Amino acid sequence: MPALAALAHRARRLRNASLRMRLAAVLVLLVMAAIGVTGVVATVQLRQFLMQRQLLELQAAKPQLVAAAIAEETHDRTSLPTAGAPNIVAGETYIVRLRGKSSPAQDYVMPQAAKDVPAWPPLSAQEARRLDGRTVIVKSVASDTRWMVVEGIDARSGTPYAVAASLERVDDIVKRLILVVGFAGASALALSAILGWYLVRRAFRPLTEIEDTARTIADGDLTRRIPEPDSQDEVSSLANSLNVMLGRIEDSFAVREESEERMRQFVADASHELRTPLATVRGYAELFRQGAVSKPEDIASAMRRVEDEAARMGQMVENLLLLTRLDPRIAADVPDADRPFQPVDLTVLAADTVQDARALAPDRSIRLLGTDGPVRPVMVAGDEPRLRQVLTNLVANAIRYTPAGSPIDLAVGRAGGSAVIDVRDHGPGVPEQLRTRIFERFFRSDASRNSSTGGSGLGLAIVEAIVSAHDGRVAVRETSGGGATFHLVMPLLTDEPPEDPQATHSDAQVIGQRHGID
């Protein structure tokens, strides 16, 4: 149980270790296992080889050794082998045990004296016959030296014998091999541990940089990026993917911050714009409550002012709702399903706008022109009421912010496969530094253009939103000779029939066709 508890504790420590440490530990364990298996296999194979060779040598020397022992026993000295005799290994010690029929067993050491003798296995005539040719391994009587013993019966004399050869040399070789393998294995294991730890740290360096970058990003720095290694491995692919993800996250946060800032500005501007009519309504209500307005004509005037300011607030709210509906970021959530796109002739819309403007400002010269010649039909796919609102807002702005009596031109035509509309005035124009901001909500280029002009600062924002919803664009430029030109570009209707070169119209013809005027 204590061993199992210790093993479980080590396993928990390994699980809690870092991935680098675990990989290095696995590498060291694999090297250790490889060295251990190699050492065991090499030791076993070498031992088997040496034992087989020893047995072959003993089998080859056995006849001479037995004959010499028998000659010694019979005092026939002429048959004794020498150290240089065939099949006798130089420096090897052999011991032969003979057991006569009536005398006790005798040991003969050849060709030199032995320091120790083997612990002989039981040897009798019957056992020798039954185990003729048996090979056994026994230990020494006084030491741990091992001996290889071959038993048998001499064919000529019938004498049982046992021939032993020392295995000390074999065991020494095996021990030296174990020491060499152990030392080399320990050195290789230490080297592999050092090299493995270095390689793991080097391989994990990009991951460390990823970790540091992630920590920095978590602290709020979204501009940081992960250095991508030169290699084309999984770590490089991960770094590239994370950089792409970080770029998208940074863009998303930037868009969110921009949207929040725009929303804060929008709320502030809307609050500012609504404050004036609300203050007016509240002021007249307090005057009425205090009895300061008692005459019928005064009451009628106060109620008219309250009604005007309420209508102004209502129009502002309607414009805000329209901008919300046209905002591409939320258009999917607030669809304008009541007004699907239909073929619309911009020339007819422009003619209607010109006629309405002439009725509103009869003292002005308001003309309908072609951008590159006579007025022609220009078909687009769009929402007719919204496009009409675009032209109405632009012409109304031109009337509102230009001197009385100055001319206004509304030109319709085609250019480069697109529908083009120009609304030109000849007033003070728009300064160049303000041309990119003039389409922002509640933006006014002149602080004096306040409620006295009837504007809410949303007209051009609505124009830009409607044109963008029709895949178009709007910009303001300087009119030749002075003034401002609002330039609109929209895609032409793709399935529009071919234009008839003779189908040209004058201003009066277009207006007459629209309203039945000859």
* 210-223 pLDDT per residue, tens: 788 878 877 877 77
* Same fold flag, 235-326 and 342-515: no
Determine whether domain 235-326 maps to CATH 1.10.287.130. yes
Q: In the chain, what are the helix, strand and coil shares in percent, each to the nearest 5?
A: 55, 15, 30
Q: Return the structure tokens found at 502.
A: 């003779």
pLDDT recorded at residue 456: 60
Q: Average pLDDT of 273-298? A: 77
* Cross-sheet strand order for the sheet of 160-166: 106-110, 94-98, 160-166, 146-153, 135-139
What is the C-alpha separation between 351 and 376, in angstroms, rounded? 11
pLDDT recorded at residue 272: 65
What is the C-alpha separation between 473 and 266, in angstroms, rounded? 22
* Cross-sheet strand order for the sheet of 366-370: 366-370, 408-415, 418-425, 484-491, 473-478
The CATH T-level fold of domain 342-515 is Heat Shock Protein 90 (3.30.565)
pLDDT, tens digit (0-9, with 9 covering 90-100), for 354-410: 999 998 888 889 999 998 888 999 999 998 988 998 998 899 889 888 888 889 999
Strands 408-415 and 366-370: what pairing?
Answer: parallel
What is the C-alpha separation between 279 and 270, in angstroms, rounded? 14
Strands 473-478 and 106-110: what pairing?
Answer: unpaired
Q: Of the ranges 23-32, 203-212, 243-252, which one carries the lowest mean pLDDT score?
A: 203-212
pLDDT recorded at residue 136: 84
Q: Average pLDDT of 28-34? A: 89
Strands 146-153 and 135-139: what pairing?
Answer: antiparallel
For 297, left (φ over 0), alpha (ψ -120 to 50), or beta? alpha
- H or E element in which residue 370 lies: strand 366-370
More confident position, 399 or 288:
399
What does 71-129 look like in DSSP terms, one character per residue?
HHHTT-GGG---TTSTTPPTT--EEEEE--SSSPPEEEEESS--S--B-PPP--HHHHH
Q: Could you give the percent of the chain with pLDDT greater than 90?
A: 17
Q: Where are the domains of the chain?
A: 7-173, 235-326, 342-515
Instruction: Please tell me whether residue 373 adopts helix, strand or coil conformation.
Output: strand
Residue 102: pLDDT over 70: no
pLDDT recorded at residue 124: 58
pLDDT recorded at residue 350: 94
More confident position, 351 or 95:
351
Instruction: Please tell me whether residue 323 adopts helix, strand or coil conformation.
Output: helix
Residue with tokens 């013993």: 149
Residue 344: pLDDT over 60: yes
Q: How confident is the model at residue 334 (pLDDT cuts 50, 70, 90)?
A: very low
Residue 86: pLDDT over 60: no
pLDDT recorded at residue 286: 82
More confident position, 183 or 437:
183
Q: Average pLDDT of 165-189? A: 90
Q: Which of 149, 146, 93 is nearest to 120 (CA)?
A: 149
